[in-house]
A and B are shown apart, each in its own frame.
Chain A
Amino acid sequence: MSGHTVEKLAYMANQIARNLVHDDKPVMAVADHIVSFWTPRMIDMLIAQGSAGLDPVAVEAMARVADGRIPPPQTRATDPAVHGSDAG
C-alpha cells in the first residue's frame, strides 16, 4: 500500500468534509459522497490507516462507512431518485 495514495485519500476526505460542513448533516453528507464516488479499495485503504490526519467530520464519516451505516442519499448528485431523470 502506498503511503502517497493513502495521504492523498485522507486529503480528499478532508477536502470533502470542509466543503460539506454547511450541510444539514455534514457527517452523513461526507459518508454518502465517499460511498457514491470512491471504489471499495480506496475506502478500505482509508479505513485501514485509521483517523490520523483526518478532520473530525471526516473521522466520523469514515467511522460510519466502516460500520456499514451507509446513509441515504444526501444530495441530488447521489440520489437514485434523480438517476434516470428525464434530464440526466
Chain B
Amino acid sequence: MGYERQADFGTPEVRSDTQVTCSIDGREVIVPVGTTVMRAAALTGGSIPKLCATDNLKQFGSCRLCLVEIDGMRGTPASCTTPVAEGMKVHTQTPHLQKLRKGVMELYISDHPLDCLTCSANNDCELQDQAAAVGLRDVRYGYEGENHLGAMPDISNPYFDFDPSKCIVCSRCVRACDEVQGTLALTIDGRGFGSKVSAGLASDSFLSSECVSCGACVQACPTATLQEKAVKEIGKPERAVVTTCAYCGVGCTFRAEMRGEQLVRMVPWKDGKANRGHSCVKGRFAWGYAQHQERILSPMIRESIDQPWREVSWEEALTYAAGQINRIRETYGRNALGGITSSRCTNEETFLVQKLIRAGFGTNNVDTCARVCHSPTGYGLKTTFGTSAGTQDFDSVEDSDVILVIGANPTDGHPVFASRMKRRLRQGARLIVIDPRRTDLVRSPHIAADYHLPLRPGTNVAILTAIAHVIVTESLANEAFIRERCDWDEYQHWAEFVSAERNSPEFLAPVIGVDPEAIRGAARLYATGGNGAIYYGLGVTEHSQGSSTVMAIANLAMATGNIGRRGVGVNPLRGQNNVQGACDMGSFPHELSGYRHVSDKATRDLFEAEWGVKIDPEPGLRIPNMLDAATDGQFKAIYIQGEDILQSDPDTKHVAAGLAAMECVIVHDLFLNETANYAHVFLPGSTFLEKNGTFTNAERRIQPVRKVMEPLNGYEDWQVTQELARAIGLDWNYTHPSEIMDEIARLTPTFTGVNYKRLDAEGSLQWPVNDKAPDGSPIMHIEGFVRGKGKFVVTDYVPTDERTGPRFPLLLTTGRILSQYNVGAQTRRTANVVWHEEDLLEIHPTDAENRGLKSGDWVKLASRSGETTLRALVTDRVAPGVVYTTFHHPATQANVVTTDYSDWATNCPEYKVTAVQITPSNGPTDWQEDYEAQATLSRRIVGHEGAMEPAE
C-alpha cells in the first residue's frame, strides 16, 4: 500500500444488538445504539472536522471543531459527544457551522507556528488538514500577543521528541496514556492559557518520568508536538506494509512505514486483533537492531573454534556444512545429528527446520526453545483439557470479573496485553496476584490487587492445592459444570485429595510463606467473583513441578466452571513471538506438527507419503539430553536456527561443555551470539522485516509476517534452510512460504483451513481452523471439552531438590524487564539500553543490611553451579530470603548460577528457583574473565583484525 493515515472514525466502536437509523447530510445510516454522530458520519464516508477526537479514545468534547446542527435540537452540539437517535437528521456542513469552525481554528492557529513547509509533520498533520477543511485563510489576531511559540522542546526520550510550541492542548496524549496504556504518566499542568502537557512532575523530563515509551501519545498527537525522531531525521514515509511484531507472544500488528528500503517507523495497526492499535517500547521503537553494524551478513566457516572465522560464499558455507553433516552421519550414525528450531522465526521456517532434521538428517533429535519456557503448558493442558494451548483470545479479558495472575509479569513481559488487562481492572474487575515479587501490576494507578500472595519460590503447587482445598471444603465448586463436562469420578478422587488437612492453607502456610487467611480470601474471590480468568507465565512453568502447576491451574478452572466462554479460561502468556507456532509445527522430538506422537503409525504414514522418506518412530533427544549426549561423545552435530542456548539455557558451563564436544555446530542467526563462540559454520539470518511467513501468538492466532525490505544477508531464513537441505541431497523446491503453509495444512488437522489467501483476506485466523471450526476458534471448549471430558489430575506438592542451606541461604528467581527482550540480542542493540544497561540483583533491605550492601554495590552471586558478579539494587519488592535478577546481558551470565534441575514431565529448566549466596565483590569472577577471553578469541574474523569485533 502507499502511505496514507489509517481511517479514524473519531470515537470508539459501540457494541449493541439494537440498531438506530439516522440521516447525515441526507445520507441514511444504521448504527448500533450509542454510536456518536461523529462516528456515524464517518461511516457514511463523511468527515466532520475534529482535533481532540480519535477513535481509540473516549470522546472528550473539548476542541469545539466538530459542531453540527441537528433538526429539532437547539444550538450546535459537538458530534463527538452526541449519540445518534432514531430518525435524527444531522447537518454537518452549513454556512453557520463553517463560520463557527473557522473561528475556533483561527484561535488555535494564532498560537501555533506557521512553519508548515519545514515542519516534520508537513502533509501528515491533522491540524494542517483541519485548517484546510474549515477553509481558514487568515488569522486576524496576529502573533504579537502572549504565546507558547518559544517553548523549549524535550528531547530526552531516545525515540520521540516533545515540542510544546506546537501543542494545541487537545489532551489526546494524556488520554492515550490514561486509557490505552494505563500508565497515567502524562497530565495537563496549569490552567487556562498556562495549560501544558507535562510528563510526571514539573521537574521531570519524558525520560525521567514514569513514561514507559509505549508510543501511544505519539500516535495520538494530531500535530508535530509528539513525534518520532526518525520521522524528523528521515522524512515522511512513502509506502507502508502491514506485518506482525517479532518480539513477545502478544503478536501486535504494525504498519511498517518505509522510505525506500529504510524503515521510518512502526505504527500499531488498529485492525490488529491482538493489540487493537496499541504497542510497547520494543515493537514500536526497538527495531534498530535490524540494521545494526554488528549484524553478520556473510557466511563464515572454520574447522575448529580456536581459529578465527573465515568469510566464504554461501555455496562454500553450505557445501562445507553439508559435508560435515554427511560425514558425521556416516561415521557416528544419524542419531549423532540434531537441530533446534526457533520461536523467533516463522511457522514456515520452523516447519522446514524440523522437516530437515527428520527427513534429511533422519533423526527426531529436534527441539525448540519452548523446551525452556512453555513445554509444561503443552503437557499439562493436554492432560487435563485434551488440548495443548490457551483457551481464550485476548478480547476475552474484557468480560473477566476476577483476574488471577500467577507467575507472570505482564506489564513487563506482555505489555500490550497488560494494558488491556489494566483497562478491565480499572473498570472494576478484581485482581489476585500470586508472585514472590511485588510486580507493577500489584499496585498501579487506579489498580490495587485484592490479594497479593508473595509465595516462596518453588511452592506454586502447594498454594494452588491450598486454594483448591478452600474451594472444595467450603462447597464453592461448580458441581453442575463438573458433572456435565468433566469426569465425575476423577473429580471426586481429586476433591478427596485436596480436602485432606495436609493440603489446607493453614497446614501449608509455613511452606508457602503466605498468610492462610489471604489464601482463603483469594480462593473465595476466584470461585465466587463471577467470570474468573487465570493468566500465567514462566513463573509457573520453569519449575521442577511446572507441568503439575499447569494441571493444578486447569483443575481450579474446571472446579469453578471457568472454562468455555468469554471472560474465563486458562491463559498461558507465551514468551516469544512464535513459541506457540514453533510448538504447533512439530518442533518437539516426540511430536509431528499438530502434537501427534511419532509412534503413531497413521500420522507417520501421512508424512512419509508427503515427504517420501521413512520417519523414525522413536522420540528424539530434548535439548538438555542432546547436551548430555554430546558430553558423552554420542552427539556430534547440531543446526541451531535463531536460538542462543549458551546464554538462555540453564547451567552455562554444561551447555558450553556440550557445544565444545561437538564436531559441527551450525549457527543460523543475525549476530555472532554466545552460542556462536562454539560454532564452526555461521549462516547469516534475516530479520522479520525481511521475510514472508506467519507467526502464531499466545491466543493461537496465526498472523501474516510480510517482507518489508529485501534481506540484507541475501536470503530469507526459509531459503537458507532449503539450500542446506539441497546441499545434503534433498529435492526441495519451495518458491514461496505460502507453499510451505499449504504443506502444513495438508499434514496438520488443526490447520486444514489455513492458507495465505484467507490470512490476507481475514487478517488472522485462530487455530483450530478446519471443518469443525471453519472460521477458527477464538475461545475453546464452548460446548464442552473438545476431546471428551475434562480430566482432574491429582497434583501432589513435591518440593524441589534445590534447597537453601547454610552455604546458599537465599532463593534466586529470575525474570525480565519491559525494555529488554530475552537474551537481549535485539534490544541491547537499540536505544532501549537507556532504561536498562545491565542486569541488577534485587535484594531485600534486611538481607542487604546483613551483608553490608547498598544499592549500586558489586556483589558476587554464587550457587552450587557457579558464580557471577553484578550490581545490587536494594528493594522491598522482593521478600526477605528472596533475590531476583534478569538475564538480558551476557556479561552477567545469570545462567552460570542456575542449575540443571528441571520439570519432571518435560525437562523445562527450573530457572525460577536457585539457592544462592550473595557476598560483596570487587570485580568479575574468574569465570566471567575466562568467558570474556574465550568469546573475544572466538569472534575474530579473518580480514577484520583491525576493526572492532562484533560483540554479543
Q: Which A residues contact B (CB, under 8 angstroms)?
A: 1-2, 4-5, 8, 12, 15-16, 18-19, 21-23, 33, 36-42, 75-78, 80, 82-88
Known A-B contacts A5-B632, A88-B388; A77 and B625 likewise in contact (beta carbons under 8 Å): no
How far is B793's CA from A36's CA once the two chains are assembled, in angstroms? 19
How far is B787's CA from A82's CA once the two chains are assembled, in angstroms? 7
Contact indicator A75/B383 (Cβ below 8 Å): yes
Contact indicator B335/A41 (Cβ below 8 Å): yes
Point out the residues of chain B lying under 8 angstroms from A18, CB to CB. 798, 904
Contact indicator B619/A37 (Cβ below 8 Å): yes
Contact indicator A39/B621 (Cβ below 8 Å): yes
Contact indicator A19/B545 (Cβ below 8 Å): yes
Interface-central residue, A37, A41, A77, A80, by most chain B CB under 10 Å = A77
Known A-B contacts A8-B900, A77-B382; A39 and B595 likewise in contact (beta carbons under 8 Å): no
Q: How far is the CB of B493 from chain A (nearest CB, A)?
A: 9
Point out the residues of chain B lying under 8 angstroms from A8, CB to CB. 628, 900
Residue B419 is within 8 A (CB to CB) of chain A in the complex: no
Residue B757 is within 8 A (CB to CB) of chain A in the complex: no
How far is B550's CA from A77's CA once the two chains are assembled, in angstroms? 13
Known A-B contacts A87-B786, A88-B389; A39 and B620 likewise in contact (beta carbons under 8 Å): yes
Interface-central residue, B786, B794, B904, by most chain A CB under 10 Å = B904
Point out the residues of chain A lying under 8 angstroms from B365, CB to CB. 39
Point out the residues of chain B lying under 8 angstroms from A88, CB to CB. 382, 387-389, 584, 594-595, 750, 767-768
Q: Identify the closest chain B residue to A2 (Cβ).
A: B632
How many contacts A-B (CB < 8 Å)? Answer: 122
Contact indicator B631/A5 (Cβ below 8 Å): yes
Contact pattern, B 510-554, Cβ under 8 Å of A = 1, otherwise 0:
000000000000000000000000000000000011011000000
Residue B738 is within 8 A (CB to CB) of chain A in the complex: no
Q: How far is the CB of B655 from chain A (nearest CB, A)?
A: 14
Q: Identify the closest chain B residue to A1 (Cβ).
A: B632
Residue B791 is within 8 A (CB to CB) of chain A in the complex: yes
Q: Identify the closest chain B residue to A5 (Cβ).
A: B628
Residue B780 is within 8 A (CB to CB) of chain A in the complex: yes
Residue B112 is within 8 A (CB to CB) of chain A in the complex: no
Docked complex: B382-399 residues within 8 A CB-CB of A: 382-384, 386-389
Point out the residues of chain B lying under 8 angstroms from A21, CB to CB. 796
Point out the residues of chain A lying under 8 angstroms from B793, CB to CB. 75
Contact indicator B600/A83 (Cβ below 8 Å): yes
Extra inter-chain contacts (5) besides given A85-B786, A87-B388, CB under 8 Å: A2-B628, A36-B597, A37-B619, A37-B905, A39-B365
Point out the residues of chain B lying under 8 angstroms from A78, CB to CB. 597
Closest 6 CB pairs of A and B: A87-B387, A83-B596, A22-B794, A15-B904, A2-B632, A88-B595
Q: How far is the CB of B147 from chain A (nearest CB, A)?
A: 62
Residue B868 is within 8 A (CB to CB) of chain A in the complex: no
Known A-B contacts A22-B497, A75-B383, A76-B791; A84 and B596 likewise in contact (beta carbons under 8 Å): yes
Q: How far is the CB of A46 from chain B (nearest CB, A)?
A: 12
- B interface secondary structure, majority: loop
How far is B335's CA from A40's CA once the two chains are assembled, in angstroms? 11
Residue B499 is within 8 A (CB to CB) of chain A in the complex: no
Point out the residues of chain B lying under 8 angstroms from A84, CB to CB. 594, 596, 600, 602-603, 749
How far is B620's CA from A9's CA once the two chains are assembled, in angstroms? 15
Q: Identify the closest chain A residue to B785 (Cβ).
A: A87
Known A-B contacts A5-B629, A36-B597; A87 and B548 likewise in contact (beta carbons under 8 Å): no
Point out the residues of chain A lying under 8 angstroms from B596, CB to CB. 83-84
Residue B278 is within 8 A (CB to CB) of chain A in the complex: no
Known A-B contacts A1-B632, A2-B628, A40-B618; A87 and B905 likewise in contact (beta carbons under 8 Å): no
Contact of B770 among A16, A39, A77, A86 (CB under 8 A): A86
Known A-B contacts A19-B545, A22-B796; A87 and B389 likewise in contact (beta carbons under 8 Å): yes
Contact indicator B772/A86 (Cβ below 8 Å): yes
How far is B907's CA from A10's CA once the two chains are assembled, in angstroms? 14
Q: How far is the CB of A70 from chain B (nearest CB, A)?
A: 10
How far is B629's CA from A1's CA once the two chains are assembled, in angstroms? 9
Contact indicator B796/A16 (Cβ below 8 Å): no
How far is B348's CA from A81's CA once the two chains are assembled, in angstroms? 27
Contact indicator A82/B382 (Cβ below 8 Å): yes
Contact of B595 among A4, A36, A41, A83 (CB under 8 A): A83
Known A-B contacts A84-B594, A85-B787; A19 and B794 likewise in contact (beta carbons under 8 Å): no
Interface-central residue, B545, B625, B900, by most chain A CB under 10 Å = B625
Contact of A15 among B386, B544, B603, B767 (CB under 8 A): B544
How far is B796's CA from A19's CA once the two chains are assembled, in angstroms? 7
Point out the residues of chain A lying under 8 angstroms from B628, CB to CB. 2, 4-5, 8
Contact indicator A86/B786 (Cβ below 8 Å): yes
Contact pattern, B 602-622, Cβ under 8 Å of A = 1, otherwise 0:
110000000000000011111
Point out the residues of chain A lying under 8 angstroms from B547, CB to CB. 19
Point out the residues of chain A lying under 8 angstroms from B904, CB to CB. 12, 15-16, 18-19
Residue B21 is within 8 A (CB to CB) of chain A in the complex: no
Known A-B contacts A39-B618, A87-B777; A76 and B787 likewise in contact (beta carbons under 8 Å): yes
